[in-house]
C-alpha cells in the first residue's frame, strides 16, 4: 500500500501564502464610512454605498487587462507600475460616458504565489485607485500551476462607476463645428506590446541595458479621471474617447453621431519619442496608427467657445491641443495629411 499523502501544496498551490497575501491587501485597502473603518477584503463579496450626491444614479462597468505588458514587467523584474496600468485601462473607459469611478476589483492569476511580486503589483493597483479616486474593494488571486509557466502571471481589472442619468455624455451633444482635441499620452500605455516585444526579440535588444527603452516601455498608463471629471463638472465637454487598441481612428468613431465626421489632421499630432523609435523598425504608418496611440492618449470634443477654458485643468505635460473638428459627412472619421515622424 502506498502511504504517501497528497496535498494541495504538493500539487503546487500554497493556501498559506495566499492567506498572507489577503492579509497584506486587507492592511492597505479599506473603506471608510464616517469615522468607522470598514473592509471588504476577505469577504465573499464587496459592499459599497451609492453616493448620495448622485440624484439619478446609473451604473457604468468596465473590465480590461494590460496584455503582454506583463512580460515587460517580468523581463525588468519591476512590478510596481503594472497595477497603475491595470486601473487606468478600466477607469479611462468609464469616464468616456461621464461616470465617476467608485470601486475597483482585481484578478491575479499566476504559476506560483511569490509574495514580494504580488505585493508590488497590489501597491501599484492601490496607487492607481488613489489617482482615480476610487476604492480597491476586493479581488481574487489564483495560483494555477500547470496553466502558467514558471514565473508567469496575468492580471485583469474590473471598475464600477456612477453617473447621473441626466449627465451621461451622449453622441447627440456633438455638433457640426465642434473641435477635436488630443490629450497627450504618457507613452505606449498598455496596447501593442506583442508587436513591441516582437521587435525587441527580432532585433535582439536587451532593454535592461538600454536606459531609454527600459524607462519608456514600462512607463504606466496616464489616468485621465480627474481632468475629465472636472471638464464635465464645468460643462466644458461634449464627448471624449479613450485611445487604446485600434488607435485614434477606431476609437474616436465610436462617439461620433450619424451624419457627422471627425475631420482629423495627422500632421498636428505631437508624436512622442518612443513612437518615433518604433516607426524606425520597419513599421508602416498605417500599422503604427492602428496599433499605437502615437502620442494621443485621450480625445476631447468641445465647443470652439470653450477652447481657452480647457488648459487650466491639465498639467503642462498633458495640455490638450487641436487636431481636428467635427464636420458633416457619411464617414465617421476622415484622416488628412500624414504624421510627422521627424
- Whether 290 and 266 map to the same domain: the answer is yes
Asked whether the predicted pLDDT for residue 53 surpasses 90, the reply is no
What's the rounded Cα separation, in Å, for the pair 17 and 21? 6
pLDDT bracket for residue 128 (50, 70, 90): very high
Tell me the pLDDT of the chain averaged across its residues: 91
What's the rounded Cα separation, in Å, for the pair 231 and 130? 19
Contact 160, 40 (CB under 8 A): no
Q: What is the per-residue pLDDT across 232-245, written as a single tens digit (0 to 9) for each?
A: 999 999 999 999 99
Name, in order, each residue with C-beta under 8 angstroms of 175's C-beta and a sequence gap of 6 or more.
238, 260, 303, 326
Q: What is the pLDDT of residue 37?
A: 45
In a domain, 94, yes or no: yes
**What's the rounded mean pLDDT across residues 172-185?**
97
Find the domain containing 135 and state its range: 15-31+55-167
- Whether 249 and 321 map to the same domain: the answer is yes
- Whether 114 and 152 map to the same domain: the answer is yes
In a domain, 202, yes or no: no
**What's the rounded mean pLDDT across residues 213-221?**
97
- Whether 180 and 318 map to the same domain: the answer is yes
* DSSP codes, 307-340: HHHHGGGS-GGG--EEEEEEEE-SSSEEEES---
Domain of residue 161, CATH code:
3.30.1330.10
CB-CB neighbours of 222 under 10 Å:
21
- Whether 151 and 176 map to the same domain: the answer is no
Asked whether the predicted pLDDT for residue 24 surpasses 90, the reply is no
Q: What is the pLDDT of residue 43?
A: 72
In a domain, 136, yes or no: yes
Q: Give buried/exposed letters for 233-268 (b at 16+ CB in 10 A, else e).
A: eeebbbbbbbbbbbbbbbbbeebbeeebbbbbbbeb
How many domains does the chain divide into? 2
Helix H or strand E segment including 32: strand 31-33
Q: What is the pLDDT of residue 66?
A: 98
Domain of residue 302, CATH code:
3.90.650.10
- Whether 245 and 161 map to the same domain: the answer is no
pLDDT bracket for residue 46 (50, 70, 90): confident
**What's the rounded mean pLDDT across residues 78-96?**
98
Cell of 195: 508587436
**179, burial (CB in 10 Å: exposed 0-12, middle 13-18, buried 19+):** buried
Q: What is the pLDDT of residue 12?
A: 67
**What's the rounded mean pLDDT across residues 25-48?**
62
In a domain, 48, yes or no: no
The alpha carbon of 252 is separated from its chain's Cα centroid by a whole number of angstroms, namely 16
Of 142-146, 225-229, 277-281, the least confident? 142-146
**pTM for this predicted structure:** 0.91
**What's the rounded mean pLDDT across residues 48-57?**
86
CA dihedral 160, 161, 162, 166 (to 10 degrees): -120
Amino acid at each position: 500500500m502506498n502511504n504517501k499523502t497528497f496535498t494541495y501544496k504538493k500539487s503546487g498551490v500554497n493556501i498559506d501564502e495566499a492567506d498572507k497575501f489577503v492579509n497584506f491587501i486587507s492592511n492597505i485597502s479599506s473603506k471608510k464610512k464616517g469615522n468607522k473603518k470598514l473592509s471588504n477584503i476577505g469577504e465573499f463579496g464587496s459592499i459599497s454605498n451609492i453616493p448620495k450626491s448622485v440624484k439619478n444614479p446609473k451604473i457604468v462597468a468596465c473590465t480590461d487587462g494590460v496584455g503582454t505588458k506583463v512580460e515587460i514587467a517580468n523581463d525588468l523584474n519591476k512590478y510596481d507600475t503594472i497595477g497603475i496600468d491595470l486601473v487606468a485601462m478600466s477607469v479611462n473607459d468609464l469616464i468616456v460616458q461621464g461616470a465617476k469611478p467608485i470601486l475597483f476589483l482585481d484578478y491575479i492569476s499566476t504559476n506560483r504565489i511569490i509574495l514580494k511580486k504580488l505585493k508590488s503589483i497590489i501597491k501599484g493597483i492601490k496607487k492607481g485607485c488613489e489617482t482615480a479616486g476610487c476604492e480597491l474593494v476586493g479581488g481574487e488571486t489564483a495560483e494555477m500551476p500547470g496553466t502558467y509557466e514558471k514565473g508567469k502571471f496575468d492580471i485583469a481589472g474590473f471598475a464600477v462607476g456612477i453617473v447621473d442619468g441626466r449627465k451621461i455624455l451622449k453622441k447627440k451633444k456633438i455638433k457640426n463645428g465642434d473641435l477635436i482635441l488630443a490629450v497627450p499620452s504618457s507613452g505606449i500605455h498598455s496596447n501593442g506590446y506583442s508587436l513591441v516585444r516582437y521587435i525587441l526579440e527580432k532585433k535582439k535588444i536587451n532593454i535592461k541595458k538600454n536606459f531609454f527603452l527600459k524607462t519608456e516601455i514600462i512607463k504606466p498608463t496616464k489616468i485621465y479621471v480627474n481632468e475629465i471629471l472636472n471638464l464635465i463638472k464645468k460643462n466644458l465637454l461634449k464627448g471624449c474617447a479613450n485611445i487604446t487598441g485600434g488607435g485614434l481612428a477606431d476609437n474616436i468613431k465610436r462617439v461620433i453621431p450619424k451624419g457627422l465626421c471627425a475631420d482629423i489632421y495627422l500632421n498636428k499630432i505631437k508624436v512622442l519619442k518612443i513612437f518615433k523609435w518604433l516607426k524606425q523598425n520597419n513599421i508602416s504608418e498605417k500599422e503604427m496608427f492602428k496599433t499605437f496611440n502615437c502620442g494621443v492618449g485621450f480625445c476631447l470634443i468641445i465647443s470652439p467657445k470653450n477652447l481657452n477654458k480647457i488648459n487650466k485643468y491639465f498639467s503642462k505635460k498633458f495640455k490638450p491641443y487641436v487636431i481636428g473638428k467635427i464636420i458633416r459627412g457619411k464617414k465617421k472619421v476622415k484622416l488628412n495629411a500624414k504624421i510627422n515622424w521627424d
